[in-house]
Amino acid sequence: MVESPQQRRQRMQWFSEARFGMFIHWGLYAIPARGEWVRSVEKISVEDYQPYFDEFDPVDYNPREWARIAKQAGMKYAVLTAKHHDGFCLFDSALTEYKSTRTKAGRDLVREYLDAFREEGLKVGLYYSLLDWHHPDYPAYGDPHHPMRSNEDFRNRPREFGRYLEYMHGQIRELLTGYGKIDIMWFDFSYDGMKGETWRATDLITMVRSLQPHIIIDNRLEASGSERGSIFSSNPSFFAGDFASPEQIIPPSGLTNEDGDAIPWEACVTLNDNWGYAAADKNYKTSTTIIRKLVECVSKNGNLLLNVGPDALGRIPKASVDILTEVGDWMRENGDSIYACGQAAVPKPDWGRYTQKGNTLYAHVFEESIGPINLMGLAERVTKARLLSDGSELFLSRPWNASLFPDDAFVSFLRAGHSTHPLPDKRDTVLQLEMKDSR
């Protein structure tokens, strides 16, 4: 059955309204605590990585606490690494013994995550790595990423890639048949010749959509975080995905295909410099940075998927929690300028950004002004102004010194105030502007 544009919009509606989600990278790599690529970077063999499997026992894992943190931060969905590149599974797969239920934890960590986040009313997604550095049939020698890429013992080691594909497809079937409704399937990632039909992508997507027709899928069956993929073309492939996934970067403008039509997209971004837990990485972004980058994404019709990397005991680091708490404080007062909002029908202002929902324009003011705030080109269009955080009245005015700018509206916090007034929220003060029309 071919999906109509209207059906696709309906399926994608919640995603385009949610705007803010939590990415969770967690696995055995939390024990060495040097990031999720530690096996590749340090060329660690399966045997030398085995002690982390043997000691994995996250006694403080409490997904209800994770879900509470996400919800209080204003996030509407989450994506957990069910299996990362090292091949370790956080779910009880019947196709491998390399899983959490065979560790000291003895628990299906994916099932607990799904139950907890659903209970908080959040949409749930699962990340599944197309790579697998543990499976004997995944290409090793000469692969640009495999830990054994330069190990001569692997040069002529026999392998049957078809066996790996059966394993991979089988595990994805398990995740989509044994765990209830999954809202997002987040595949990662394609590279060089390992893309598209190398993964038997048509068969895979046919299976995924037959099992869960509502599901939303990223574009990485044929792309990485730095590649475009056919989702940007006027004739996308069957497995192009539903949204683009720029990584550690926010596009300079909203993403469109060759025909100029908007493409749903989601920037995935770390809170510090690593996805998986890295004990020495203290380079955390501030809450102000996160708030403003979330606004930037929404102002360009995009989402922000913000990552946390729980530690070996199962705890989200306190530094991450503190930042998310501050973001949540801002979201509780200003979330209306984020949820179900998108790119405004007016140009970006010098002092910040705009987001828009219907006839309501939200002015995100990042910088102090000299005199009233200039709303360029809106003199005949703005009918009312309020401070979003508390609904207090703001004043539309025509300053004596603005005769050179007849097309601009001006708004101030004080009725008589034409001088500088401190911003109520230096992170992002949001003005709610009612418009005569939405053009």
Same domain, 235 and 270: yes
Domain boundary, last residue among 337, 369, 391? 337
Give the pLDDT confidence score for residue 419 in this predicted structure. Answer: 56
Phi, psi dihedral angles at 82 (to 5 degrees): -65, -35
In the predicted model, is pLDDT for residue 1 greater than 70?
no
Q: Are 361 and 354 in contact (CB under 8 A)?
A: yes
Phi, psi dihedral angles at 247 (to 5 degrees): -115, 125
Higher pLDDT, residue 439 or 137: 137
Structural domain includes residue 65? yes
Peptide linkage before 243 cis (omega within 30 of 0): no
- Return all residues near 360 (Cβ < 8 A) that are at least 6 apart: 432, 433, 434, 435
Same domain, 357 and 332: no
Structural domain includes residue 346? no
Q: pLDDT digits over 74-117, tens only?
A: 999 999 999 999 999 999 999 999 999 999 999 999 999 999 99
Same domain, 317 and 369: no
Structural domain includes residue 291? yes
User: Residue 13 — left, alpha, or beta (φ > 0 → left; ψ -120 to 50 → alpha)?
Assistant: alpha
Mean predicted confidence (pLDDT) in 2-27: 94
Same domain, 163 and 240: yes
Same domain, 297 and 379: no
**CATH number assigned to the domain comprising residue 377:** 2.60.40.1180
Structural domain includes residue 347? no
Structural domain includes residue 342? no
- Helix, strand, or coil (residue 393): strand
Residue type, 304: L
Q: pLDDT digits over 346-372, tens only?
A: 999 999 999 999 999 999 999 999 889
Same domain, 156 and 183: yes
User: What 3 state SS string does 157-210 have?
Assistant: CCCCHHHHHHHHHHHHHHHHHCCCCCCEEEEECCECCECHHHHCHHHHHHHHHH
The per-residue pLDDT of the chain, averaged, comes to 96
Structural domain includes residue 343? no
Structural domain includes residue 209? yes
Q: How far is residue 274 from each of residues 224, 281, 353, 359, measured CA to CA in Å?
A: 17, 7, 28, 40
Q: Which domain holds residue 217?
A: 5-337
Domain boundary, last residue among 287, 302, 337? 337
Q: pLDDT digits over 387-420, tens only?
A: 999 999 999 988 888 889 999 999 998 876 555 6
Give the pLDDT confidence score for residue 103 in this predicted structure. Answer: 98
Total tally of structural domains belonging to the chain? 2
Exposed, middle or buried: residue 87 (CB in 10 Å: 0-12, 13-18, 19+)? buried
Same domain, 227 and 319: yes
Min mean pLDDT across 246-250, 337-341, 396-400 is at: 396-400
Same domain, 202 and 239: yes
Mean predicted confidence (pLDDT) in 176-181: 98
Give the pLDDT confidence score for residue 420 in this predicted structure. Answer: 61
Cross-strand partners of 218: 243
Give the pLDDT confidence score for residue 397 in this predicted structure. Answer: 86
Same domain, 51 and 194: yes
Q: pLDDT digits over 31-64, tens only?
A: 999 999 999 999 999 999 999 999 999 999 999 9
Mean predicted confidence (pLDDT) in 270-278: 98
Same domain, 126 and 71: yes
Structure tokens that stand for 64 in this block? 């209800």
Domain boundary, last residue among 275, 306, 337? 337
**CATH number assigned to the domain comprising residue 175:** 3.20.20.80
Same domain, 312 and 356: no
Structural domain includes residue 259? yes
Same domain, 278 and 396: no
